[in-house]
Amino acid sequence: MANQRHLADNTNHPAAGHPGAPRKGLALLQGIAVCGRCGRRMSVHYTGPNGDYPGYVCRTDRDQTGAPSCQVVRALAVDAGVAQILLEALKPDQIAIALAALGQLDREAKQLERQWALRRERARYEAERARRQYDTVEPENRLVARSLERVWEEKLRVVERIEQDYDLWCREQPLVLGDDDRDALRALGQNLPQVWHASSTKAADRKRILRFVMREVILDQTKLKGHVWLKIVWHTGATSEHIVQRRVHTYNDYADRDQLRQRITQLNAAGTMDREVAQVLNQEGFTAACGCRFQGETVWQLRTRWGIAPAKINGIAANPPRWSDESFSVQGAAAALRVTTQTVLTYLADGLLTGRQLRKGQPWQIDLTDDQIRDLRARLQRTRRPKKEAS
Ligand SMILES: [Zn+2]
């Protein structure tokens, strides 16, 4: 029964209020976020220059009355907080306790299920009996017929009410786990932090793991300034309340912060660009504050915050006239040709000079032979002379 409900949840009927199967995207609480102000389900929207920043939005008021959204909660901080709570809750010993609790709930549920079956059976039986009594009344005995009809209707209403209550009860029942599920959950508990942070783990997998244990997460950022209040409804039926800072504005609580900073500095000093730094960090098992993978932008943000200058082949020093491979810097070429650095850049753009950059943003390394220098100087003489004569 509960498993059927579990399946039904995956059929994606947003209109029916089912959370829907985890979909792509970053927002961890997609489908299970509930507005703490009005109790409605929140949807996900993305903002930011590249649409990178997910948020949970309660747009009911806006859609129906044109009023501003009820609330928009940025996802990054909330997701990080929820991920932390989840990992804490799914430590192996905690899983054992949860499974034991689920087992107990399971047994209680089975007992209650039997009681419900009896109640429902009895109500149906009484309605059926009332119908038969009504059927046996002679048509001319209208007074009796009318009163028996009322009794019958009443019994039918009782049946209806009990079925409604039963439905409600079913919906409130915790997730029933099969033995396979239990084993999977136990195995997961052994290495969840690694699985969670692994680069091979997709956003959809994280959502699935989360939805395995959390039924819904209620969000309210209007209760406490600068914070998001959240209430987690676990599948065990238990609830817990938490408070998360609204913005991921520091890595100060990041346990490996110093290590992270050191590594970024190191890679940057070695001329590694932000995007590659991000890749290396991911490979080495570092995790960004949101519990997700590093992107070039994240590295850029951290570098800016920590005052680490952009990677250059010569570090932070000024460009020398010539690089170690004998190629010229823009400044070196300008001096050799007796032109401005801007002219050198124009020559590079026009193809009069050939050079290369390690990557965009890196200093130019310009190939310039003595012959070329002579030719270019001669060319400059020619182009300059008419100007001088004209003036
Ligand atoms: Zn709302």
Contact 368, 329 (CB under 8 A): no
Q: Could you tell me which residues are beta bridge partners of residue 220? A: 229
Query: Of 198, 194, 234, which Cα lies nearest the Cα of 218?
Result: 234
pLDDT tens profile 329-338: 999 999 999 8
Centre of ligand 1 from the C-alpha of residue 188, in Å? 34
Q: Could you tell me which residues are beta bridge partners of residue 367? A: 354
Q: Calculate the alpha carbon distances from 218 to 35, 38, 176 in Å.
A: 6, 10, 22
**Residue in this structure with the two tokens 């000093």, named with its chain if needed:** 269
Centre of ligand 1 from the C-alpha of residue 110, in Å? 36
Centre of ligand 1 from the C-alpha of residue 96, in Å? 36
Centre of ligand 1 from the C-alpha of residue 77, in Å? 19
Centre of ligand 1 from the C-alpha of residue 387, in Å? 73
Element holding 370 (H helix, E strand): helix 370-390
CA–chain centroid gap for 205, Å, is 11
Centre of ligand 1 from the C-alpha of residue 214, in Å? 20
Structure token digits, residue 159: 């049946």
Tell me what pLDDT residue 220 has.
94
Helices (H), 243-354: 257-269, 274-283, 296-306, 330-337, 341-350
Centre of ligand 1 from the C-alpha of residue 32, in Å? 14
Centre of ligand 1 from the C-alpha of residue 229, in Å? 14
Centre of ligand 1 from the C-alpha of residue 321, in Å? 63
Centre of ligand 1 from the C-alpha of residue 222, in Å? 11
pLDDT tens profile 176-211: 666 776 777 677 667 777 778 777 777 877 888 888
Centre of ligand 1 from the C-alpha of residue 231, in Å? 15
Tell me what pLDDT residue 382 has.
79
Neighbours of ion ligand 1 (CB under 5 A): 35, 37-38, 58, 70
Q: Which residues of the chain have pLDDT under 50?
A: 1-24, 248-250, 252-253, 387-391
Centre of ligand 1 from the C-alpha of residue 13, in Å? 20
Centre of ligand 1 from the C-alpha of residue 70, in Å? 4
Centre of ligand 1 from the C-alpha of residue 60, in Å? 7
The CA-based angle 247-253-259, given to 5 degrees, is 120
Tell me what pLDDT residue 154 has.
93
- DSSP label at residue 111: H
User: What is the distance between the alpha carbons of residues 287 and 300, in angstroms, rounded to a whole number?
Assistant: 15
